[in-house]
Structure 1
Amino acid sequence: MTREKAGTDTRGRILAAAVEMIGEDPGASLSVRAVAARAGVSTGSLRHFFPTQRELRDAVLACVYDGVVSDDWSQDPSVPARDRLVACLRQVLAPAGVGAQAREAWGKIYEAFIVPEQTEDVRAAYLAMDREGQRRVESWLAGLTREGALAPGDNTRRARFLMTVLNGLATERALPAEESILRSETETLYMAVDCVLADRG
């Protein structure tokens, strides 16, 4: 095995171990020792690939989003831009589930980020998740801008608006509802997307 191949395998094992830890506990701090132990590598090896905890966390969250959210929809011009953006946003909501699954997911987030004292580690873990979600939505909006389906403008602000809508819808999935969550969610997503597509800057 070449040195380059061994390095790729080690990096992959580290990322796989950290992704497992985040899957078990969304608020996991991803400490160097814990991730290295789970991956079966030395802390020095982990630091070689990820010199800072933020670099490790960002790489892990990119893996999580890449595994859950596909960019395929955003790049198919045969589908209207409005429908593509709604489909992309729906993918972000999918892992939260509905009902009991959504309540369990929100329970973990509550325990990880709301209950504990707002230490630097807690803030960093939450902000890394938020940053990766924001980055993904901004990339979809940038694609729509490049193809002319969305007027040039502040895609950071637009993405923040859409992320706020997604956070509200994810919370709503965990709460009791009188009508079909998916129907009202679809209406809300289309309303939010229409707002963004109509924004002229």
Structure 2
Amino acid sequence: MTVGSREKILRAAAEMIAEDMTATLSVRAVAARAGVSTGSLRFHFPTQRALQDTVLARIYEHVIPDDPIRDRSLPARDRLVNCLRQVLAPAGVGEEARRAWGAAYEAFIAPDPTEELRTAYFAYERASAGRVEYWLGVLADEGVLSHEDRTRQVKFLLTVLNGLSIERALPASESILRTETETLYTAVDCVLSTSTT
């Protein structure tokens, strides 16, 4: 069976990300890796963003086939909140969250910010941003969000998640689940409402 140029491009881009999460997927590099012309790549993916979104969608469909963002039986806001909860779940609560933040502090905050440390942190940050971008891309494809540059929306949601994960490590005077749910819905509503104006 002959593999078409679109498939070659997607495979090459996925391989590049698998090898290095910090790969930028430049048109020339992906085209060279796929063995196609840059014109062919641009035909299938007119923008670098279109290529990145398609590759991330493929990766996440493979890694998380039952991703909550695809459960169209729920409203978009509930699906996005469920996805954001997935990010928070591994951090745990209380002692588990304190250990996770202690490890993050020792790895990224306490040492001098060497170039190697910065590269490692940015790779982690980029992977997190890619996951949120993917979810927003699915909603944009459904017409719930505009296809505008989502950089601010992603940064906002990641900042909310970071704050909530720190909150999980701190003493709480009320139900963390209740306040966390309220905060997630407020953040999601903000993203959904600002994208339509």
**Unmatched segments (≥5 aa) in structure 1:** 1-49
Contact map agreement 2:91 2:97 (CA 8 A) in 1 = yes
Aligned counterpart, 1:29: none
Q: Counterparts in 2 of 1:22-171, with a 5 A limit?
A: 55-56=19-20, 72-171=67-166
How many equivalent residue pairs?
A: 146
AA matched with 2:86: Q
Structure 1 segments of 4+ aligned residues over 6 angstroms from their partners: 65-70
1:86 shift after superposition: 0.1
AA matched with 1:118: P
AA matched with 1:180: S
Q: 1:185 aligns with which of 177, 180, 188?
A: 180
AA matched with 2:101: W
Contact map agreement 1:96 1:102 (CA 8 A) in 2 = yes
Tell me, in whole angstroms, the C-alpha distance in 1 between the residues paired with 2:132 and 2:103. 24
1:157 and 1:99, CA in 2 relative to 1: closer, same or farther beyond 3 A? same
AA matched with 1:144: L
1:149 and 1:86, CA in 2 relative to 1: closer, same or farther beyond 3 A? same
Aligned counterpart, 2:6: none
AA matched with 1:165: V
CA deviation digits over 1:69-91, x for unaligned, max 9? 76621112111100000000000
Contact map agreement 1:68 1:95 (CA 8 A) in 2 = no
**Unmatched segments (≥5 aa) in structure 2:** 1-14, 24-55
Report the RMSD for the aligned CA atoms in angstroms.
2.7
CA deviation digits over 1:125-175, x for unaligned, max 9? 111110000011011101101101223322121111100100100111111
SS of equivalent residue, structure 1 residue 118: coil
Contact map agreement 2:21 2:126 (CA 8 A) in 1 = no
Instruction: Using the aligned pairs only, state the percent identity.
Output: 60
Contact map agreement 1:144 1:150 (CA 8 A) in 2 = yes
TM-score under structure 1 length normalisation? 0.66
Contact map agreement 2:160 2:187 (CA 8 A) in 1 = yes
1:143 and 1:68, CA in 2 relative to 1: closer, same or farther beyond 3 A? closer
